[in-house]
């Protein structure tokens, strides 16, 4: 949930329908609203329409490749600030150059990614630690500390 009590939106760009459905089901169980796109053209239209909080982006999708989807998003007013996490079967060293320079949240290799890791990855991007409850306000500051040697009482 965001600060307004609305479910955060994720667009899953994945041409493997079964895998996209697994991601969608798991993330919806965690309370996210998910949309799936199975090719690049569909992905760009869906991302522009929904303006999601996060895009899980496969690089090797039909019609428009993932790196081109990312490039198009970053050049657009609507897509320049959307968080993108690459999930691909390509190792990052084999992926198109310049992905990190275009501002991605991270990169994961599909075959190394368990379902639990997917959940944690999405939570870490959409629920950063600075949004956790701030317990520092509960500290009792009424007790005076003794002066340090540098301080004169």
The reported pTM is 0.82
* Residue 112, in any domain of the structure: yes
- pLDDT above 70 for 77: yes
Q: Annotate 55-84 with DSSP letters as a single string.
A: EEE-SS-SSS-HHHHHHHHHHSTTTTT-EE
| The predicted structure's pLDDT at residue 122 | 97
Number of separate domains in the chain: 1
Q: How confident is the model at residue 141 (pLDDT cuts 50, 70, 90)?
A: very low
* Residue 143, in any domain of the structure: no
What residues make up the domain containing 30? Answer: 9-127
Domain CATH code at residue 56: 3.40.50.2300
Q: Which of 90, 94, 93, 87 is nearest to 70 (CA)?
A: 87
Q: 114 or 149: whose pLDDT is higher?
A: 114
- pLDDT above 70 for 112: yes
Q: How confident is the model at residue 119 (pLDDT cuts 50, 70, 90)?
A: very high
- pLDDT above 80 for 31: yes
User: How far, CA to CA in Å, does 64 sit from each of 14, 42, 71, 138?
Assistant: 12, 9, 11, 51
Q: How confident is the model at residue 110 (pLDDT cuts 50, 70, 90)?
A: very high
| The predicted structure's pLDDT at residue 128 | 73
Q: Kindly state the percentage of the chain with pLDDT values over 90.
A: 77
- pLDDT above 90 for 139: no
Sheet containing 9-13: which strands, arranged edge to edge?
33-37, 9-13, 54-57, 83-88, 106-109
* Residue 149, in any domain of the structure: no
Average pLDDT across the chain, whole number: 87
């Amino acid at each position: 949930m965001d600060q307004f009590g609305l479910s955060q939106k994720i667009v899953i760009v994945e041409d493997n329908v079964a895998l996209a459905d697994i991601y969608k089901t798991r993330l919806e169980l965690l309370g996210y609203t998910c949309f799936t796109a199975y090719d690049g053209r569909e992905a760009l239209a869906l991302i522009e329409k929904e303006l999601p909080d996060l895009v899980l982006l496969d690089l090797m999708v039909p019609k428009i490749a993932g790196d081109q989807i990312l490039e198009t998003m970053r050049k657009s007013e609507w897509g320049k600030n959307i968080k993108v996490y690459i999930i691909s079967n390509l190792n990052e060293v084999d992926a198109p150059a310049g992905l990190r320079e275009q501002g991605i949240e991270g990169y994961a290799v599909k075959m190394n990614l368990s379902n639990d890791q997917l959940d944690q990855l999405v939570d870490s991007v959409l629920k950063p630690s600075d949004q956790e409850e701030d317990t520092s306000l509960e500290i009792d500051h009424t007790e005076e500390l003794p002066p340090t040697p540098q301080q004169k009482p």
